[in-house]
Amino acid sequence: MDRELTREEKRIYDGIMFSPGDPELVALKLKAHNLSTDYSMTHEDEYEKRKAILQELIGELGENVRVQGPIFFHYGCHTKLDDGVFINYGFTCQDDAQVTVGKGVAFGPNCTIVTPLHPMILEERRGGVKDPDGNVKACWAKPVTIGNYCWIGANVVICPGVTIGEGCVIGANAVVTRDIPPRTFAAGNPCRVIREITEADTMKNHPEILGDCTVTV
């Protein structure tokens, strides 16, 4: 990020309650929402136009990132997409806090990343938390980190504060509420580790699927 954080962004990054209606935050979100709409209205083969929009939308954009669209980023500038990330259609990223996506991560259709949280108590959620100056603080946020070369299945929801380790596979429709260790297969609601991914999972064991292909790693 090549700009100074706003006052409320600093609160977000410190993990304390902030005001989502702060004018500076609203301006950042409006820009991201409009750019998300612009991207979602492009054709898949408008490569240069899509790249230009992503470069303006995303805080840190790696090389060879592919995003099908439609998309929705809440801030965009709080997200890092590393080299070779692939995002299938229907992607939502509510990146109030930082979202870091590692190299070669692949998302299936209709995945969602969420970072903000709200008080459980109704009265607190409806304006009952204020800073020393009397300003309402409605929510806080926790960062999400996805390690290199993960495969995130269709319709997965990744919740605030989650870290998914390198090389994981997350099964379709999972709701990830806790950290997932590297090189594991996890699925379910709430998502849980099913097992480690081992050499037993190699495609060498499935010649009927490999056909005339060869495993080269």
Catalytic positions are 118
Are the CB atoms for 83 and 65 separated by under 8 Å?
yes
Rg of the chain over all Cα atoms, to the nearest angstrom: 19
Strand-pair category, 184-187 with 192-196: antiparallel
Partners of 60 in the beta sheet? 80
Partners of 142 in the beta sheet? none
Q: In sequence order, what DSSP letters do the residues of 122-140 get, joined into one string?
A: HHIIIII-B-TT--B--BE
What proportions of the chain, in percent to the nearest 5, are helix, strand and coil? 25, 25, 50
Amino acid present at 125: R
Say how far apart CA 129 and CA 80 lie, in whole Å: 31
